[in-house]
Structures are given as structure tokens and as C-alpha cells.
């Protein structure tokens, strides 16, 4: 059994980028998982720090979450990984934010891990990093991702270099585990075989 007391991710900083309409469990589950292992997680949004983001449980409004840093003020160099939760409205709005898309693109340019679940991979198209990548997502995004030049597979987790994608909330255990394993690999190194 894994020893959580050792905090293997201590010193790692993870940005979670989202806005209103986020699928709540796709934010709360990875955040709790990473924090339990010692990572510092920061909620970024295209809103000022202190504003709130409305979470959803499918189509029902759920909890609100306080923005910790405006994505316009964030720098990829200050983080080890980026997590993009899903929900339909959340990535749809992020795609309209130049600061959000630039932040996602810059993570890829710096060869840092980007992890996206459910509808989260939608933003990868606008960031220009879906092309020639092996991805998965919520099934309704399949055509959009294929049209953007990605290879799409219906699997719980797909890892292509430093890009981790999953399909839905049921995949969260595998998604969280993949994020953890990728965070244990130094940026700029070969993560080994990919799916």
C-alpha cells in the first residue's frame, strides 16, 4: 500500500484551469488526490483572484470555488503540471479566453504535463496541440479532435508524451494515477512507452 505520509509530490505545483460550468468531480477528485500526496494545487480561471467558479454535477449547479489566480497573471514556469477538468460549458468558455489558450499552449511548448478529462481536451484544439497527438475524451468530442488532426481512442487514459487524457468521471481513478506517475517524471525527460 502506498504511504501517503511520505508526500512524494511535495514541492510540485499544479495549475487547475477552469471556469463556470466545470464538472465538479473532475476538479475536486484530482485536486484532493494531488494534495494528499503533497502537491500544491492552484485554481486558475479567466477571472480575478477571489471571484468564484460555478461547479456542476452533470446539468445541475453544485458548489462554487474561489479563484486563486487569474490565468492572465499566471506563468507556466511557476507550475509543474496543468490539469483541465471537463464539463460542457467550462472548456467552451475557456476556448474564448486568449489568456487561457495561451497558457495551455505555453505548457506544451515548455514540455510540461497537460492532463485533460472529459470535455477538457476541447481546449487542446484551440491551443494548437491536438494535431498528431493520440488522445481520448468524452465521445462527443471525437469528431472535433479527429478534424484537428488527432488520433482518438476510446480508453480510460491515453498518454502521449507529456499529454494525459481521459473520457469521463468514471475514469478519474486512472486519470489521477496517470497524473501522479507523470509528475514523478522530470520535465524534458523521456517518460518511456506511451499508449
Q: Please pick, among 57, 58, 119, 134, the residue that the annotation labels catalytic.
A: 119
Confidence grade of residue 186 (pLDDT, cut at 50, 70, 90) = low
Give the per-residue pLDDT at 190. 53
Q: For residue 75, report the phi and psi dihedrals to the nearest 5 degrees.
A: -125, 125
CATH-assigned architecture of domain 10-178: 3-Layer(aba) Sandwich (3.40)
More confident of the two residues 6 and 156: 156
Q: Please pick, among 57, 58, 118, 134, the residue that the annotation labels catalytic.
A: 118
pTM: 0.93
pLDDT digits (tens, 9 = 90+) for 126-150: 999 999 999 999 999 999 999 999 9
Is 134 assigned a catalytic role? no
What does each C-alpha distance from 137 to 2, 13, 83, 159 come to in angstroms? 29, 25, 14, 12
Amino acid at each position: 500500500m502506498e504511504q501517503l505520509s511520505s508526500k512524494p509530490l511535495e514541492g510540485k505545483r499544479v495549475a487547475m484551469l477552469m471556469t463556470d460550468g466545470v464538472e465538479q468531480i473532475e476538479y475536486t477528485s484530482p485536486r484532493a488526490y494531488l494534495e494528499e500526496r503533497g502537491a500544491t494545487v492552484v485554481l486558475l480561471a479567466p477571472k480575478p483572484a477571489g471571484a468564484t467558479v460555478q461547479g456542476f454535477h452533470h446539468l445541475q449547479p453544485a458548489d462554487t470555488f474561489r479563484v486563486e489566480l487569474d490565468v492572465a497573471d499566471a506563468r507556466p514556469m511557476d507550475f509543474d503540471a496543468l490539469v483541465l477538468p471537463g464539463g460542457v460549458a467550462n472548456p467552451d468558455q475557456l476556448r474564448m479566453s486568449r489568456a487561457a489558450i495561451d497558457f495551455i499552449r505555453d505548457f506544451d511548448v515548455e514540455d510540461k504535463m497537460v492532463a485533460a478529462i472529459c470535455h477538457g481536451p476541447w481546449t487542446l484544439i484551440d491551443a494548437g496541440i491536438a494535431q498528431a497527438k493520440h488522445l481520448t475524451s468524452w465521445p462527443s468530442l471525437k469528431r472535433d479532435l479527429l478534424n484537428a488532426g488527432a488520433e482518438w481512442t476510446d480508453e480510460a487514459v491515453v498518454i502521449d508524451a507529456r499529454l494525459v487524457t481521459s473520457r469521463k468521471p468514471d475514469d478519474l481513478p486512472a486519470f489521477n494515477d496517470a497524473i501522479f506517475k507523470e509528475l514523478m517524471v522530470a520535465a524534458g525527460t523521456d517518460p518511456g512507452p506511451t499508449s
